[in-house]
Amino acid sequence: MTLPKVIEEARILSHEAPISGVDILTLTAPQIAQTSLPGQFVQVSVPADAGFLRRPLGIAEVSRTEGWIRLIYRQVGRGTRGLANGVAGTLVSVLGPLGHGFNTALKHPLLVGGGMGLTPLLFFATAHPNVSVLMGGRTKEEVFWEEIYHPHVRECFITTDDGSYGTQGFVTTLLPRLLADGSYDGVAVCGPPVMMERVADIASKYGIPCEVSLEKRMACGLGACLSCAVDTKSGRRKVCKDGPVFPAGEVYYAS
């Protein structure tokens, strides 16, 4: 089923920075909030002096009753740095919801995320009554996500590269032990390509279905410009329209 896409003039409700360079943006967008599904994204306008193209941002949370959406993003270029200057009350143009989301019809999924890949997985967590999460970061500061996820998950497992918090290592260090107990019926993963490839490989060895969320540079977000096209095992696909979520076994992971 193809869900309707709208352009809303959304008002900034709040703009917070949990750590330097990362922003949590909450917008009034009642039409988009009503139809969004976990794994989908929106295209957000940026100030004119920060570029002409909208920026694709994963939806982190929605409130269908209050009519807002929440986006969590890292400042990585001129566009997102310009967007980060937006203050409460400012209007931004938002196109969405876009893309194909996760399969949430699972009894006990395990979400696996690294860095900003935890953004679309958060929406999954808020929409599912029995989900667990395995998150990784370089340092304790980078897993600020724990506090955000805590109210929505059954269990939260954490790894850090430097061992400053949780288990020292990567998410793939802990993942085999978690899957070995046999209680998970699906894995959803988003993060760096090499991480997703390893997670998909481990899930396959345990016979557990796995979905991955790809990230590519986009222009239109509607499948017209082909800027986000990727080769998959079933042919050329558009990340914005056919994805960003794909079955793990269908994609190639070269960054």
Report the binding-site residues: 72-74, 79-80, 220, 225, 228, 240
Are the C-beta atoms of 141 and 19 separated by less than 8 Å? yes
Distances (CA, A) of 129 to 6, 37, 126, 132, 155: 28, 15, 8, 10, 12
Q: Which residues are annotated as a binding site for [2Fe-2S] cluster?
A: 220, 225, 228, 240
Q: Which residues are annotated as a binding site for FAD?
A: 72-74, 79-80
Return the HEC string of 60-91: EEEECCCCEEEEEEECCCHHHHHHCCCCCCCE
Give every CB contact of residue 209 below 8 A, 6+ residues apart in sequence: 103, 185, 186, 187, 203, 247
Backbone angles phi, psi at 224, to 5 degrees: -95, -35
